[in-house]
Amino acid sequence: MSWLKSIIAAGVLQSAVLISGHAFADAALDRIKAEGVLKIGTEGTYAPFTYHDKDGKLVGFDVEIGQEIAKRLGVEAKFLEGKWDGLIAGLDANRYDAVINQVGITPERQKKYNFSEPYIASKAVLIVKTGNNDIKSFKDLKGRKSAQSLSSNYGKIAREYGAEIVANDGFDQSVQLVLSGRAEATVNASLSFLDFKKQKPDVPLVIVAELEDADKSGVLLRKGEDDLLAAVNKALEEIKSDGTYAKLSEKYFGADVSK
């Protein structure tokens, strides 16, 4: 019967390891509260979400969301900046407790990481120069020139609707091409447009259509840290219910960006 005892012993050991690992992971919230700091990975170069103002201070919508979450956990927010490509790796290496940097919630990422409830959403919108009555819907892009970054999903959308692509490096160049008349439209992120209009309200550009499906972002956390996930979700719920979210949304975008 020694073989049976060995199997039972191995099973008990495996269960103990799993329980221990789960307990260790779930201790993340206790550790953060004991240390008094929530370490957050972010870029610091992506306005209006996470960037440096003229005085060099780290500011932005995502920065303030992180600060509000930390406050509701009873700790301070400590931001650790890094390049986008290394942020998720930094979470894997335990450099951060969370990443708050417009991380899109995707099925692939959800397999490996926990995500909070979405705290912001961006839709693909169709932008034209004010007074352009020829383009009123995405279907009207067929045969028209659309200014797009070739590597973006928005360029793919424009091509799917039959647009002739005027290639460029990003949102700022896209809108300038539309304003100059070298392109008739651009498909781009609603958040980018809202930020642009917030800074330059008199620029003659308008949204004439939007796609229903929105790209949603959440706070990125490690798998297994379920207590921390629950606490972050609770904090986000409070931020929205007490009016804080509405104030931040208006401050940075002039509109509700939660859905």
- Sign of the CA dihedral with 133 first, then 134, 139, and 141 last: negative
What does the pLDDT read at residue 14? 53
Q: Which stretches of the chain drop beneath a pLDDT of 50?
A: 5-10, 12-13, 15-24
Read off the pTM: 0.81
User: Are the C-beta atoms of 212 and 146 separated by less than 8 Å?
Assistant: no
* Cα(57)–Cα(232) distance, integer angstroms: 25
Domains of the chain: 2-119+218-253 (3.40.190.10), 121-215 (3.40.190.10)
What does the pLDDT read at residue 22? 47
Q: Which helix (H) or strand (E) holds 186?
A: strand 186-189
What does the pLDDT read at residue 1? 52
* Cα(235)–Cα(78) distance, integer angstroms: 17
Residues 6+ apart with CB under 8 A from 106: none
What does the pLDDT read at residue 26? 65
What does the pLDDT read at residue 9? 47
* Cα(246)–Cα(259) distance, integer angstroms: 12
Look at residue 131 and give its three-state secondary structure. Answer: coil
Helices H / strands E in the chain, number of each: 10, 12
What does the pLDDT read at residue 169? 87
61-73 helix and 244-253 helix, angle to the nearest 10 degrees: 160
Q: What residues form DSSP beta bridges with 128? A: 206
pLDDT tens profile 202-247:
999 999 999 998 999 999 999 999 999 999 999 999 999 999 999 9
